[in-house]
A and B are shown apart, each in its own frame.
Chain A
């Protein structure tokens, strides 16, 4: 057995910084200044991971966050994201299957900050163990992940050496585990914290102090874990590594006997490809949220079509219609080439994003709403394919008292937003002007309703007025005067939404008037 242990010191910190580099937040963390990731714990948040600058300030993992802030004047703090750390570690482990199929990320007891590679019989492919380590180290460096690497005869000793050996990479020859580990602290044995503490209390501070001791007294005093870890490190028992498995791939391809040139033919093949995938999608309970179709032309050109969907789907007809919509725009440019006989000789379709679909019984009245939503999604998909995602938007309600802020346009994807029921005591105009239009109004001070007003050059006499409805500004955003809204009807039955800005005597000497909207 030859096992590589890859340890990524400060993994949560590095992972956070890498994520930040990809997705710049408004206030990026400065890695040169003290920075910690905190985890909520009983008795208050504690430091879960910290960068070197924080360590220089005397901080330690496990410190109370409040204490840490007292120590380091301007400490940068973010919440630790264990799930993201774990997912990133899995991704990195998957990447490492380029060296060997047997890769295993460290579990919680191993620190969850590195992975093992079983390179038994595989190292020669990369020019030997030394070369493999060098190659691995260099690639990780390029990812911005300085790692410590060790290769040894057992997972246990490789883990110990990667953590506690002074060299950054080390290849330990067969059979030298005992000598190599003897001088390392007992922390190198992957023991539970309690066991470590007890061993230290008893004076066993290095692995070497345990090596030649009789087994029975230890077996009588410690959990089985201690002897098991020792035996694993020295290869006396096997340690099976839990393998990482890549996520399922939904991919199907067809080679055609005769090249095809027409849009209909392409759509027909794509539809069949999708039907091929449906079985696998149903099996895993998922549907496609995003697909990629590749068209291989006789002359070697490859055309890629990406399709995104509003909701996950398994419907081949829907997918092929969307592909058809996209093709319409692309095919014209190919006409010249097709004239020379360069048709498509192969097609492949892959699901690039799969999402869970809740299983549902079809064609029952009870789910009519859901079906309605599905139909709406189908329509949206068609519109998006034809017009582009940024052009298809819908209104969403915003919880704001200000009428012009009470709704917002946003991307149409996803579920339809829920709108609050209309409040008949507070009517809103059918048409709200994007910008309120100034008007000249005659009204009594301080709070009298409008009597007559001039707007867009025309004079209106007010027959009826209701109001005022008073709406003050959102003081935390900007300081604007308070508004009084009136619903007025002129002599000819036209209804307007008038607004007086500025409270007489309190905010403004001379309030200004606007027309903000029209009713039918």
Chain B
């Protein structure tokens, strides 16, 4: 039986070159019976961890290497023989990466030579041998004597024996003997078309144009040892050398040992001791004597002891200390950065005392033991959210404290999705953009397959061979890595140099560096990461808490908000949640009145229940029924022969017997379907990536089979699996829900008791959340908050609070609401304001304020305090050019040197330069409102729809307030109208479109079924102002209108804006469109 080791394998992590996944390569190598496989991608180790995972499973020897390609095109495979040599390669690639821009690596031949210690080098000859190559081969052999080789591949070029013989001779002379390889690009010959298409995508051409750039045959696949032996029958020693190299390389990725950094531990103290000290110190702060006369509650104390014991046992102290160190940095800033931990270990009593989380263990029934598993040798997981505007400070702190050689963000592999795949493959096959666009459009959202029916729907013939080919190839490309990108915030920190563990490269963002491995790779190798994430709501709460302190004298933090406030829960139960974290979406709003949260844990459930997992698993309705009491709580049980009837009770108790959280689904897999913990973990991962490895059905059979065999109802088993599939798209564990629930409570508390503070804080944190400023302001006004317009004499950049009678405050809109202004200039304007500007000329003379800014302010109607409406304010400053105050200032940030007549500047008025009066056309209210929207996205004067009330009455429309009247019977046919605030077509809703209409009295929720949508596609997709006739549907407080017919009123909005111009029957034959977009809706697909 011949033996063979393939040492030149290029995977698809050599982007747009390799035609197979690393896992496919390893699996095929194993099936063919290769002795070993060496995976080496271009200047990268990005794919080796995936190959390693597969090789470990299959117990085949894997050589983790890289194909070094120098800037001038010399290619050599490098395989480290030991850990130190691997580290040197990582550092070589890191240096090359940091020299080049993102995604490229700049290596010189000398750099390669300098790294030669401990490497096995296999040089790849170019198509035409040159003196230059020979010289380099000799240099390589001198640098790594006995460890340098020359790769020879059987290319089927017609003169193989001669060519290989020539190479063998060259190798012998140079001291780098011939080694047999096949320079593999794909695992099976059937991938040649795919490899050709990738070439075309890389070269930006079509297959018809690509010519000689395409492969001449399909031979660059993994070949069985027997065939390799036959091809190299004349050079048996070349085959043997490959096996020798494989034997000599003893390095395995499994030997990478992770060590936590020990910076945070002071000298003379063990990490565990330090952690305990910090924890007890924190505990005394959290439970101060004045509020807790008995000291730390006994229950908490017991938990702290248990947790600390577990941490000691698993030796996780340094991990907790590292997270604490980062959080402590945020907390000790002069202006504290608000943060909140979440994740499996975050909701522990220890983390509460360390200040990592603010979820009080005292009033939640969460158990730490659930979050750290003793059995699974897996590092704990804590994500920390920071204020989104200040996270960069935290990131830079981490780089600084641990150094760029020891800290880096991990990568996210960007995969081909169906849309992009069909677009690029179609282009490579020469399909016109029209056809590829039509094909791509049949994929909505993240659906990944292209069934024939969809292709037909797009007006194309699925039997057309080119289309068939495009679809087949695109389906193969889906799931291929495209490029690496940085993860949103996952940091890997190490005690030793990180760049000796994995190459680090530049990110597209300035001052960021990231490693080549993504979070799955890191999991596989059991490295530790801390997620440093950004959360807009934390910025909003920070601002709110600041305002609360300044204007109401209340000094609060997330941990010291009053707990279990009845009014807050009542407000949420009314679905009065515009702006509240996580529960402001329409789906959440319709859930709130049904769930009626009463305590903190209800909020945890509320956050988790409106997610793809529970929805796809049909878990929502059973839970609600049990909560209402209309269905009895019972626990699914196995056949008595297989286990105790209440084996799931412990798992499902908290959620009334209905699995809602990801942890529960995994627990069911282990308890009910008898997965091993490893298998359950494999299942979780397969789900997250199941689109591109197709192993999901194996788990499905095991899961459902396992449960039904043990006597569970098939239906229950199937819906549990459906839920897991849903989690695959967006996993949502209880531990995260608990942390989010705290922010739900905090934002709801603020909205409930200080709507003015909340309104100002959330406006100052835009863009965030679900609603636009117009809706946030409208909501605040409905809650009795006075909102005042932005004005040059009163506003600041941010929205501010102005005291009104009886201690309350009004919100003064800030200049930030006005689109297109520069913060710097406006700060100068505020600084130069003194006791207020008396005239527009004086304002214009302020240093650093450009005419562009003045015009924007005028368009936003911000000169009312000077007695000027927007037209007058627009008219006046235009003259300033002519009388010499400023020239040019069209652009932002024009400098102060533009004053040409400084002495006269303050006297530039009509007295000195009189001019004839020009009567400007009077602006109607409707025009003002339209202009308000154009400039600031909202109007405090009037709602645009109110101007069309008569028109709407003629159409038979009732106001949105009226449509909520209780005496309207269910299913009655009504017409409502309004501006389109939002359109959504969620993936979980099977093609249903949800729309929200707003008029001057409130909002109306519209449901469009797919059939109706298909008939009215254009109107539904594009209109901004719409009347909808449909059936009223009421379920408790939730009211929907199920659309039947539509009237598109978008054109009417133009009338509002044009005032007098385009009244019906006008002679103007062309709508000479104003160039500004009016009232854009937010669309979510």
Write the B363-387 contact mask toward A (1 if CB under 8 angstroms, else 0): 0000000000000000000000000
The interface residues of chain A lying within 8 Å CB-to-CB of B217 are 470-472, 482
Q: How far is the CB of A213 from chain B (nearest CB, A)?
A: 6
Which of chain A's residues 241-264 have a Cβ closer than 8 Å to chain B? none
User: Given known contacts A71-B1021, A470-B219, is B156 in contact with A216 (CB within 8 Å)?
Assistant: no
Residue B641 is within 8 A (CB to CB) of chain A in the complex: no
The interface residues of chain A lying within 8 Å CB-to-CB of B916 are 214, 216-217
Question: Is A58 within 8 A of B1018, CB to CB?
Answer: yes
Residue B1022 is within 8 A (CB to CB) of chain A in the complex: yes
User: Given known contacts A58-B1022, A77-B433, A203-B871, is B196 in contact with A475 (CB within 8 Å)?
Assistant: yes
Candidates B196, B218, B915; contact of A220 at CB < 8 Å: B915
Candidates A193, A221, A472, A487; contact of B878 at CB < 8 Å: A221
| Interface bracket on B | 35 or more
Residue B1075 is within 8 A (CB to CB) of chain A in the complex: yes
User: Given known contacts A205-B1059, A221-B879, A399-B212, is B192 in contact with A166 (CB within 8 Å)?
Assistant: no
Question: Is A475 within 8 A of B192, CB to CB?
Answer: yes
Residue A301 is within 8 A (CB to CB) of chain B in the complex: no
Question: Is B218 within 8 A of A426, CB to CB?
Answer: no
Candidates B870, B882, B1017; contact of A221 at CB < 8 Å: B882
The interface residues of chain B lying within 8 Å CB-to-CB of A214 are 915-916, 918
The interface residues of chain B lying within 8 Å CB-to-CB of A165 are 1067, 1069
Which of chain A's residues 348-401 have a Cβ closer than 8 Å to chain B? 398-401
- In Å, the complex CA distance between A475 and B207 comes to 10
User: Given known contacts A71-B1022, A202-B875, A475-B193, is B156 in contact with A60 (CB within 8 Å)?
Assistant: no
Question: Is A217 within 8 A of B158, CB to CB?
Answer: no
Which of chain B's residues 1065-1081 have a Cβ closer than 8 Å to chain A? 1067-1070, 1072-1075
Residue B650 is within 8 A (CB to CB) of chain A in the complex: no
User: Given known contacts A74-B438, A400-B211, A466-B158, is B459 in contact with A476 (CB within 8 Å)?
Assistant: no
Question: Is B921 within 8 A of A204, CB to CB?
Answer: yes
Please report the total number of A residues contacting B with Cβ < 8 Å: 64
The interface residues of chain A lying within 8 Å CB-to-CB of B1017 are 73
- In Å, the complex CA distance between A213 and B434 comes to 52
Q: How far is the CB of A305 from chain B (nearest CB, A)?
A: 40
Question: Is A57 within 8 A of B1018, CB to CB?
Answer: yes
The interface residues of chain A lying within 8 Å CB-to-CB of B1072 are 185, 187
- In Å, the complex CA distance between A217 and B159 comes to 88
Q: Which residue of A lies closest to B1060 (CB)?
A: A205
Write the A470-498 contact mask toward B (1 if CB under 8 angstroms, else 0): 11101110000010110100000000000
Residue B429 is within 8 A (CB to CB) of chain A in the complex: yes
- In Å, the complex CA distance between A398 and B208 comes to 11
Residue B588 is within 8 A (CB to CB) of chain A in the complex: no
Candidates A74, A193, A203, A218; contact of B1075 at CB < 8 Å: A193
- In Å, the complex CA distance between A14 and B923 comes to 40
- In Å, the complex CA distance between A71 and B441 comes to 12
The interface residues of chain B lying within 8 Å CB-to-CB of A304 are none
- In Å, the complex CA distance between A152 and B859 comes to 37
Question: Is A205 within 8 A of B1061, CB to CB?
Answer: yes
Residue B922 is within 8 A (CB to CB) of chain A in the complex: yes
- In Å, the complex CA distance between A471 and B920 comes to 80
- In Å, the complex CA distance between A221 and B871 comes to 13
Question: Is B211 within 8 A of A201, CB to CB?
Answer: no
Candidates A72, A216, A466, A474; contact of B1018 at CB < 8 Å: A72
Question: Is B1075 within 8 A of A197, CB to CB?
Answer: yes
Q: Which residue of A lies closest to B433 (CB)?
A: A77
Residue A335 is within 8 A (CB to CB) of chain B in the complex: no
- In Å, the complex CA distance between A283 and B1059 comes to 61
The interface residues of chain B lying within 8 Å CB-to-CB of A209 are 921
Candidates B158, B189, B208, B216; contact of A467 at CB < 8 Å: B158
Write the A185-201 contact mask toward B (1 if CB under 8 angstroms, else 0): 10100000100011011
User: Given known contacts A198-B874, A217-B879, A468-B158, is B922 in contact with A203 (CB within 8 Å)?
Assistant: yes
Given A197-B1075, A217-B879, A467-B158, list of 9 further CB < 8 A pairs?
A166-B1069, A187-B1070, A197-B1074, A214-B916, A220-B881, A222-B878, A468-B156, A472-B217, A476-B429
In the A-B complex, the 10 residue pairs with the closest CB atoms: A399-B211, A469-B158, A203-B921, A470-B156, A221-B878, A220-B882, A214-B916, A187-B1072, A472-B217, A470-B217
Chain B: residues with CB nearer than 8 A to chain A?
156-159, 163, 189, 192-193, 196, 207-208, 210-212, 214-219, 230, 429, 432-434, 437-438, 441, 458-459, 466, 469, 859, 870-871, 874-875, 878-879, 881-883, 915-916, 918, 920-923, 927, 931, 1017-1018, 1021-1023, 1050, 1058-1061, 1067-1070, 1072-1075
Chain A: residues with CB nearer than 8 A to chain B?
27, 57-58, 60, 69-77, 163-166, 183-185, 187, 193, 197-198, 200-206, 209, 213-214, 216-222, 398-401, 425-427, 447, 466-472, 474-476, 482, 484-485, 487, 506
Q: List 23 A-B contacts (CB under 8 A).
A: A27-B432, A57-B1018, A72-B1018, A77-B434, A77-B437, A166-B1069, A197-B1075, A198-B874, A203-B871, A214-B916, A219-B882, A220-B878, A221-B875, A222-B878, A398-B211, A466-B158, A469-B157, A470-B216, A472-B216, A476-B193, A476-B196, A476-B429, A487-B158
